[in-house]
Amino acid sequence: MTVRRRAAALAITAVLSAAAAPAASAAPSPSPSPSTKLPEGLYGTADPTYDGVWRQSMAFLAQKIELVTPATKSVDWLVAQQCDSGAYASYRDASKPCDDKTVADTNATAAAVQALMELNSHRPTVDNSVSWLKSVQNEDGGWGYNPGSPSDANSTAVVTGALARAGVPLADITTDDGASPYTALQSFALPCDGEGAGAFAYQPDKDGKLTANADATAAAVLGAMGKGMAAGNSNAVRKPVCHEGDGLTVEQTAQNGAFYLAKALGGSGHLQLPPMPGAEESEPQPDFGNTADAVVALAASGHKDQAEKAVAYLEKNAGDWAEKGGPAATAQLVLAAHATGTDARDFGGVDLVRQLNAQGPAPAATAVPSPTATQDEPEDTTSDDGGLGVWWLVGIGLAFGAGIGFLLSGRRKNQQL
């Protein structure tokens, strides 16, 4: 889910749906004014009202796959955001207990679960959130942005990924009518004929019509496979196919979504932002966030080859967007790089990991991953001052030791060292 949607969704809900939504969709929790110092441990410098927990969780997901351990105070901040019920708001003043004015957010809760599972810490906190998420499942098997709001593909997908990541058997998460998270996700899927073939819709409109939505499709592909946002790459290699007919498996529905994304990215290599309502016609703008999410979904579903053009486009064009967009935007690019085996520390000349680390407290620990199979050139083995590097010294020592053994034994005169 893009930073843009995360920042706008609750605001839109509060403005447009206040009359129709249940009490849980009331005005959001108070946030600090621009002059107020942000809490210690929080990533980013922008107003966290609508994305504080989300961007913190995204940062942790991206850091952990790049072998970075966040600072303890950053993790403590995320844990402290949880209400006693197990729910998270998008952001709240944790010095005060949650009350009936605290707007519970399924997306923030699910993101926090995924992040804490990646960190392999605070399991009681995770279990508390899992219990809450299960308790607010809708009768259709899905979840809305807030408890009691209609199910949507994005919310259902991120909650499904969180439950799976926490080790919850998804087949057991059913309603009294037997609906599961997969039931809900498949209800948002478009058929293979017509416009938007294979895509997922965010929600049906008031007439029940489904409209293809790339953001929802990228999220739903991961959810339908029972995978979280840091899904990585699938070992499978598949050809994009749209499966037709009734009774499709959830796996086939996920592959249909991948088919749609591959086609959407096939031309320019990127998705485009939809025009703003009421705005004058202008040049279409690239949607970097959804493009990155589509890359992750394609790689996770066995279509990494279909994502290569999009990754190249992001490397060339998305650097400024990520830096200005803050930790969640940078994390999206890290996840896309990781899913495709691209070097996040040299992503179009930008060290995304360093950039992400700089947007929060100094990490507790960092480690540089071993070179991947896609790297053609070995790292420079000389030290910065032009002298012999550590590995050259090790090699010389090994050769010297081997030479002494050869001389002492007198038995392997023809063996090459």
Q: With bands split at pLDDT 50, 70 and 90, how would you rate the model's confidence at 304?
A: very high
Token pair 């023809």 is found at 414
Instruction: Work out the average pLDDT over 130-146.
Output: 98
> By C-alpha distance, which of 125, 133, 114, 122 is closest to 59?
114
Judging by beta carbons within 10 Å of its beta carbon (0-12, 13-18, 19+), is residue 16 exposed, middle or buried?
Answer: exposed
**Torsion over CA: 338, 328, 214, 148 (sign):** positive
Do residues 387 and 380 touch, judged by C-beta distance below 8 A? no
Q: What pLDDT shows up at residue 368?
A: 74
Surface-to-core class of residue 283, CB atoms within 10 Å of its CB (0-12 exposed, 13-18 middle, 19+ buried): exposed
In this predicted structure, the answer to whether residue 225 has a pLDDT above a threshold of 50 is yes
H helix runs in 98-213, sequence order: 106-119, 123-135, 153-165, 181-187
In this prediction, residue 182 carries a pLDDT of 97
**Position 384: which residue type?**
D
Q: 137-151, 302-316, 367-381, 390-404: which range is least confident on average?
A: 390-404
> Which tokens sit at 36?
């107020």
Q: Is the pLDDT of residue 131 over 50?
A: yes
> Partners of 272 in the beta sheet?
286
pLDDT of 288 higher than 90: yes
Question: What is the pLDDT averaged over residues 15-34?
Answer: 37
Query: Which pLDDT band holds residue 408 (cuts at 50, 70, 90)?
Result: very low
Residue 22: pLDDT over 80:
no
Q: How far apart are the first and last CA of the chain?
A: 55
- For residue 412, what pLDDT is reported? 35
Residue 406's H or E segment, with its range, is helix 390-409
Exposure letters 36-55 (e unless 16+ CB within 10 A, then b): eeebebbbbebbbbbbbbbb
**What residues pair up with 286 in beta bridges, in sequence order?**
272
Pick 367 or 212 by higher pLDDT.
212
Query: What pLDDT shows up at residue 277?
Result: 66
Is 90 exceeded by the pLDDT of residue 343? yes
